[in-house]
């Protein structure tokens, strides 16, 4: 068994083990063990990759190619570069933290953890695939469990939210499928045979007309998952209804599939289409950046605030990808990682606050710093990280994006860049608004004085997420350089 396939196989084994468990204790024990092993594997992969990177020039390492469906030339073709390694590490950390945060899932615990791991399988599979069809397959595996997770374990209008989320993402998948098939049927433009292999298609000069037609389909197909304006409305409702761990995984990992797919498929395989359409999507993503931030100012539900904040932060990822240079791309990848950790941390904390106070309405909360200091202090830190304070990962990512965006000299790029930079002010407003109303000020409700402190599993989950945020923020060089090196071949593809 190769080092990458294990990432798909292990969750499946854990799922099988889970089927035979009884009760919450056994289920979470198995899920935790499985997630810890995955985290170990991800760290091992990181070191193996760093070692491998020194001795090879190929874009993807640890590759493996098994013909899967010969008639259509579909392969189980896997491999990783620095970008996917980093995202796999992100996934394994968030899954483990999610298991800790779901320590007390009393309803159908077995089924809950099974769905969670199905989702994880899909995500891992997506990140290691370098065959379009296999990739799409894993993409669907990751998206489907969402419906169950929200519909069964969610709260509020959960059926509505689950349906909305699933329908919008399925609609996007339909566009994506057309885009992928379009690429597939043009992959013989240079006279070869039809193929789904990303590496082989990258060598082919797909006709400009086809690129122009299929780029927006592929882009939107992926970007809906990355909360592209105006297709973002599934996300606030979906997050609000989802249980904590699902929000964490969804915003932390699943939404990253969007940006990753845009980069790996749409931009890499259809570079001329990207150049042709970039202005249009730049406008949409820049609107998303500002619009999400302003919309967040007016929300009172913590999860809605965080969801709109995600629209803003992930808008920046798409914005950066469209800037078409390596600095901005590096920023986009770093922002994906950074946002993944931060937003997962936010949702974890929101879940902890909600289980204690039974409300997510900030106007009903107040003075939490005094009663649950640990949770509140971490919330302040997460907030500061989110508004791009130096020393946290968000700053590193945003500065890469802004410096990269500023490399484009024409007026249009200048204007949209300055508009996007102004988000740092608006972000500060909505973050500090929450901190001021919810955490500071006098304690609003007498009953809050007796709120329980954070438990060991909550603390572990939270610190697990905080560590990488600070780590990347304080010493970003190794990660940033690793990603930069992986970007080189893509750069030659586009420019």
3-class state of residue 122 by DSSP? helix
Closest CA to 5 of 73, 68, 96: 68
- The rounded distance, in Å, linking the Cα atoms of 134 and 115 is 20
Q: Which residues of 251-274 are buried (b: 16+ CB within 10 A; e: fewer)?
A: bbbbbbbbbbbbbbbbbbbbbbbb
Contact between 147 and other proteins (CB under 8 A)?
A: no
Phi-psi map region of 389: left, alpha, beta (phi>0 left; psi -120 to 50 alpha): beta
CA atoms lying within 13 Å on the CB side of residue 193: 6
Tell which one of 52, 159, 419, 441 touches other proteins (CB under 8 A): 441
Nearer to other proteins, 142 or 384 (CB): 384
Nearer to other proteins, 107 or 481 (CB): 481
Contact between 390 and other proteins (CB under 8 A)?
A: yes
Only segment of 183-191, 210-218, 290-298, 348-356 that touches other proteins (CB under 8 A): 290-298
Tell which one of 367, 394, 461, 468 touches other proteins (CB under 8 A): 367
Residues 211-250 as x/- pattern, contact with other proteins by CB under 8 A: ------------------xxxxxx----------------
Pair of tokens at residue 1 = 């068994």
Tell which one of 406, 470, 471, 489 touches other proteins (CB under 8 A): 406
Least distance in angstroms from the C-beta of 171 to other proteins: 8
Count the site residues for other proteins by CB under 8 A: 55
Closest CA to 396 of 339, 331, 311: 331
Cis peptide before 172 (omega within 30 of 0): no
Interaction residues for other proteins, span 299-338 (CB under 8 A): 299, 326-327
Closest CA to 352 of 303, 297, 300: 303
Q: Within a 10 A sphere around the Cβ of 438, how many other Cβ atoms? A: 25
Least distance in angstroms from the C-beta of 447 to other proteins: 17
Q: Within a 10 A sphere around the Cβ of 37, how many other Cβ atoms? A: 16
Least distance in angstroms from the C-beta of 79 to other proteins: 26
Nearer to other proteins, 118 or 328 (CB): 328
Nearer to other proteins, 135 or 162 (CB): 162
Pair of tokens at residue 111 = 């089924």
Contact between 428 and other proteins (CB under 8 A)?
A: yes
- The rounded distance, in Å, linking the Cα atoms of 348 and 337 is 17
Least distance in angstroms from the C-beta of 481 to other proteins: 6
Tell which one of 68, 103, 294, 354 touches other proteins (CB under 8 A): 294
Contact between 424 and other proteins (CB under 8 A)?
A: yes
- The rounded distance, in Å, linking the Cα atoms of 316 and 320 is 6
Contact between 477 and other proteins (CB under 8 A)?
A: yes
Nearer to other proteins, 115 or 400 (CB): 400
Which pairs from 18-21 meet CB under 8 Å and 24+ separation?
18/110, 18/113, 18/114, 18/117, 19/110, 19/114, 21/110
The radius of gyration of the chain's CA atoms, rounded to the nearest angstrom, is 22
Tell which one of 156, 391, 471, 493 touches other proteins (CB under 8 A): 391
Tell which one of 425, 463, 467, 495 touches other proteins (CB under 8 A): 425
Nearer to other proteins, 42 or 378 (CB): 378
Only segment of 46-54, 123-131, 258-266, 392-400 that touches other proteins (CB under 8 A): 392-400
Q: Which residues bind other proteins (CB under 8 A)?
A: 164, 167-168, 229-234, 291, 294-295, 297-299, 326-327, 367, 369-370, 384, 389-391, 395-396, 399-400, 402-404, 406-407, 409, 417-418, 421-422, 424-425, 428-429, 432-433, 436, 439-443, 476-477, 480-481, 484
């Amino acid at each position: 068994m190769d080092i990458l396939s294990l990432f798909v196989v292990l969750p499946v084994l854990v799922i099988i083990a889970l089927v035979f468990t009884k009760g919450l204790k056994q289920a979470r024990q198995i899920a935790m063990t499985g997630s810890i092993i995955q985290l170990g594997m991800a760290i091992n992969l990181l070191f193996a990759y760093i070692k491998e990177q020194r001795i090879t020039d190929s874009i993807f390492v640890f590759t493996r190619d098994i013909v899967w469906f010969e008639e259509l030339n579909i392969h189980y073709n896997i491999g990783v570069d620095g970008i996917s390694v980093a995202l796999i590490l992100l996934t394994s950390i968030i899954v483990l933290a999610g298991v800790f945060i779901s320590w007390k899932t009393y309803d159908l615990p077995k089924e809950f953890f099974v769905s969670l791991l199905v989702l994880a399988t899909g995500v891992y599979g997506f990140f290691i695939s370098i065959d379009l069809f296999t990739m799409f397959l894993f993409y669907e595996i990751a998206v489907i469990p969402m419906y169950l997770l929200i519909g069964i374990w969610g709260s509020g209008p959960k059926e509505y939210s689950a349906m909305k989320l699933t329908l919008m993402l399925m609609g996007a998948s339909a566009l994506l499928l057309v885009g992928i098939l379009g690429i597939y049927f043009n992959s013989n433009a240079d006279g070869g045979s039809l193929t789904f292999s990303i590496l082989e298609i990258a060598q082919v000069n797909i006709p400009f007309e086809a690129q122009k037609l299929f780029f927006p389909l592929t882009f939107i197909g992926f970007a809906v998952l990355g909360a592209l304006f105006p297709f973002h409305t599934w996300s606030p409702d979906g997050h609000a209804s989802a249980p904590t761990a699902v929000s964490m995984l969804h915003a932390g990992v699943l939404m990253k599939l969007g940006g990753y797919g845009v980069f790996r498929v749409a931009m890499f395989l259809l570079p001329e289409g990207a150049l042709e359409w970039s202005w249009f999507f730049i406008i949409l993503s820049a609107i998303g950046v500002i619009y999400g931030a302003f919309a967040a100012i007016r929300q009172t539900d913590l999860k809605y605030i965080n969801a709109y904040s995600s629209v803003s932060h992930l808008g920046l990822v798409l914005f950066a990808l469209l800037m078409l240079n390596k600095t901005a791309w590096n920023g986009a990848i770093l922002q994906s990682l950074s946002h993944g950790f931060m937003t997962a941390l936010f949702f974890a904390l929101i879940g902890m606050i909600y289980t204690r106070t039974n409300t997510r309405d900030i106007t009903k909360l107040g003075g939490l710093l005094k009663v649950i200091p640990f949770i509140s202090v971490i919330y302040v830190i997460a907030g500061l990280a989110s508004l791009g304070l130096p020393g946290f990962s968000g700053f590193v990512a945003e500065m890469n994006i802004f410096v990269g965006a500023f490399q484009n000299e024409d007026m249009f790029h200048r204007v949209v860049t300055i508009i996007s930079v102004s988000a740092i002010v608006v972000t500060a407003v909505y973050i500090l608004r929450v901190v001021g109303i919810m955490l500071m000020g006098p304690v609003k409700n007498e009953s809050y004085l007796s709120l329980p402190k954070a438990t060991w599993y909550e603390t572990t989950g939270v610190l697990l997420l905080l560590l990488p945020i600070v780590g990347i923020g304080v010493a970003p060089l190794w990660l940033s350089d690793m990603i930069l090196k992986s970007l080189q071949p893509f750069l030659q593809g586009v420019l």
